Amino acid sequence: MDWLNSLFLDNGTSHTIFLLALAIAIGILLNRLKVGKIALGSTWILFSGLLLSHFGLKVDATTLAFIQEFGLVLFVYSIGLQVGPSFFSSFKSEGVKLNFIAIGVILLGCIITWSISLFSKDDLSVLTGVMAGAVTNTPSLGAAQQTYREAFGTITHDMTLGYAVSYPMGVVGVILVLVALKSIFKIDIKEEEQKTEVGQEKHDAQRLNVKVTNKGLDGKRLSELGPLLNQHFVVSRIFRNGEVFTTSETNQIQINDVLRIITEPDNVALLIAFFGEQVHIDESEWETPVSRLVAKRVVVTKSKLNGVQLGTLNLRSHYGVNITRVSRAAYELVATYGLRLQLGDRLTIVGRQSNVDKVTNLLGNAPKKLDIPNLLPIFLGIVFGVILGSIPVHFPGVSQPVKLGLAGGPLIVAILIGRYGPQIKLATYTTTSANLIIREIGISLFLAAVGLNAGGTFVATIVGGGYIWILYGLIITIVPTLLMGIICRVFLKMDYLTIMGVISGSCTNPPALAYSGSVTSNSRASVAYATVYPISMFMRILCAQVLILL
């Protein structure tokens, strides 16, 4: 039975893999348990790791540190790739507001930490460690330790102990707040998803039928209309005398023509006023057999087209077809000349059957090719993400340089690659299932490593009086996030999905974001998380240093 003892007790490779897999498997099984309607998701993996470690099943600390950080990198990188295409448009529309909310959560947490030090027996430096654990932010602990060493010429182990004890509850605390907000406001996730989808539709490409009554346009070529309006729109078909025609730039429009237009929502009113009046034509009329036109959705699968501007393909002049709209992820885009194609884009093509078939061959339309794993952007992005996260940034009056770390660096690089990769001919398409499995493996490794690392001293520290640190940590975690969540819902009228992302991001808490992913497939929470994460990381580090110097 020596082999069995070795498997459980030795610090070998087999032992490490065995315990990690065991902690994750137990956590996934426990995830099926619900208290009422509440499920903690992957957080159970943390508790299973704590339990195994408490009973003496330990893994080498250096190995655990690697597993924890690597799992975190995989998780945040998959998030960045997912939200990259829509991140910047979201940031422009509500990024400032979301970041102010995150800063409010952080400052309120610092005020509470300082207030606790006024009536407790613990030094503010120890409570700073508790705060770092309560918001699951390791870089802020490192910055606080460095500042303490420079200010007082020594180190304090209690700061690290406070961090270690409060960290597991910090993970759980944010999730409990999200659950509490859902209960307080009686939130129906499906209704929230519908609200966000309605909001998204306002930014998607829209179709409208417009009758030409403006006599000044009689005889005008379609190519002349764009410069007159200076707006993005596509005339895909013309309905004239009961027949439907595909369009080209040389087509002349006539009075009483009905134009099928695809445009951005903000342009709808202007186009109606410009052409004449909006009319209703049944969809079946556009598909009349007389027209001999077909509409087909085609997937871009040829790698040489990745990043190519749609207009440079000259599909209208060479093949006599129109691209009426482009679907990318969950978004509908206007098929403008300058739109850069990406692998996985779905184009709606209108034209004669023979011409549509030619364009289909040109674009590829072989979805199975997209199922082949594309690992280059993942590992290349992680390389640059680690480099970015390691760059120290010095700020006046701050002794410790600020770094984005192994979470912030890869997250930002993934967002940039997801958004701009096609422009540098880097294929970034990843199937939804592949992205999800990378994300789940990453967060599972992270939580298992955290649990196995903290479990050995967790109970002993609590028994020795550290239970009060857990209480302080829960206060620091719960009060700011719950209060700001209520403000967001009641006064700012924000949807619950965005609130989940902002709260998780302000606490730099990947497990909380993973919880949001377990209750909804909508990416809104991930976008909000990525929007506030960089400034939250900076503020967490800065505030920890300020507290040490008070």
| 32-46, 65-79, 231-245, 510-524: segment of lowest average pLDDT | 32-46
Q: Are strands 258-263 and 233-240 parallel, antiparallel or unpaired?
A: antiparallel
Averaged pLDDT, 114-139: 88
pTM above 0.85, yes or no: no
pLDDT score, position 290? 46
Averaged pLDDT, 448-453: 83
Give the pair of three-digit tokens for residue 400. Answer: 């410790």
Residue-wise DSSP of 370-437: GGS---HHHHHHHHHHHHHHH--B--TT-SSPB--HHHHHHHHHHHHHHHHGGGGT------HHHHHH
Give the pair of three-digit tokens for residue 487. Answer: 């403000």
Highest-scoring range by mean pLDDT, 36-40, 257-261, 318-322? 257-261
First to last CA, the chain: 58
Q: Are strands 233-240 and 206-212 parallel, antiparallel or unpaired?
A: unpaired
- With 80 as the cut, is the pLDDT of residue 166 above it? yes
Distance CA 75, CA 136 (A): 15
pLDDT digits (tens, 9 = 90+) for 272-289: 888 888 888 776 666 655
pLDDT score, position 155? 66
pLDDT score, position 53? 84
With CA atoms as reference, report the closest residue to 296 among 261, 347, 343. 347
- With 90 as the cut, is the pLDDT of residue 127 above it? yes
List the beta bridge partners of residue 340.
309
pLDDT score, position 8? 64
120's CB contacts (< 8 A; 6+ apart) are 127, 468, 472
**Structural domains in the chain, sorted by start:** 1-195+374-549 (no CATH), 202-369 (3.30.70.1450)
Q: Are strands 294-299 and 233-240 parallel, antiparallel or unpaired?
A: unpaired
CA angle 259, 262, 263 (to 5 degrees): 120
Give the pair of three-digit tokens for residue 335. Answer: 């098929």
For residues 43 and 398, the model is more confident at: 43
SS3 label, residue 340: strand
Rounded to the nearest integer, the mean pLDDT of the chain is: 81
- With 50 as the cut, is the pLDDT of residue 65 above it? yes
- With 80 as the cut, is the pLDDT of residue 492 above it? yes
Averaged pLDDT, 449-472: 79
pLDDT digits (tens, 9 = 90+) for 469-484: 889 999 999 999 999 9
pLDDT score, position 109? 95
pLDDT above 70 covers a percentage of the chain that reads 86
CB burial of residue 5 (10 Å; 0-12, 13-18, 19+):
exposed
> Which residue has tokens 């008070």?
550
pLDDT band (50, 70, 90) for residue 93? low
Residue-wise DSSP of 199-218: HHHTTS-EEEEEEE--GGGT
pLDDT score, position 324? 77
pLDDT band (50, 70, 90) for residue 36? low
pLDDT score, position 201? 47
SS3 label, residue 190: helix
Looking at this protein, which amino acid is placed at residue 87? Answer: F
- CA torsion angle 323 328 332 334 (round to 10): -40
Highest-scoring range by mean pLDDT, 189-198, 208-217, 399-408, 531-540? 208-217
What DSSP element (H or E) covers 325? strand 322-328
Cα 143 to Cα 492, 535, 539, distances in angstroms: 34, 16, 12
pLDDT score, position 287? 61
pLDDT digits (tens, 9 = 90+) for 404-436: 777 778 888 988 888 788 777 777 777 777 888
Distance CA 418, CA 167 (A): 31
- 406-427 residues labelled b (16+ CB within 10 A) or e (exposed): bbbbbbbbbbbbbbbbbeeebb
Q: How far is CA 13 from the centre of its chain?
A: 34
For residues 448 and 36, the model is more confident at: 448
Highest-scoring range by mean pLDDT, 182-186, 374-378, 390-394? 182-186
pLDDT above 90 covers a percentage of the chain that reads 15
Cα 446 to Cα 43, 73, 246, 345, distances in angstroms: 10, 9, 55, 33
Give the pair of three-digit tokens for residue 488. Answer: 């967001």
Cα 111 to Cα 117, 131, 339, 482, 509, distances in angstroms: 10, 11, 48, 15, 20
Give the pair of three-digit tokens for residue 482. Answer: 């719950």
Looking at this protein, which amino acid is placed at residue 129? Answer: G
Distance CA 96, CA 101 (A): 9
With CA atoms as reference, report the closest residue to 474 among 134, 81, 126, 233. 134
Distance CA 457, CA 163 (A): 12
- With 70 as the cut, is the pLDDT of residue 134 above it? yes
CB burial of residue 175 (10 Å; 0-12, 13-18, 19+):
buried
Distance CA 499, CA 532 (A): 11
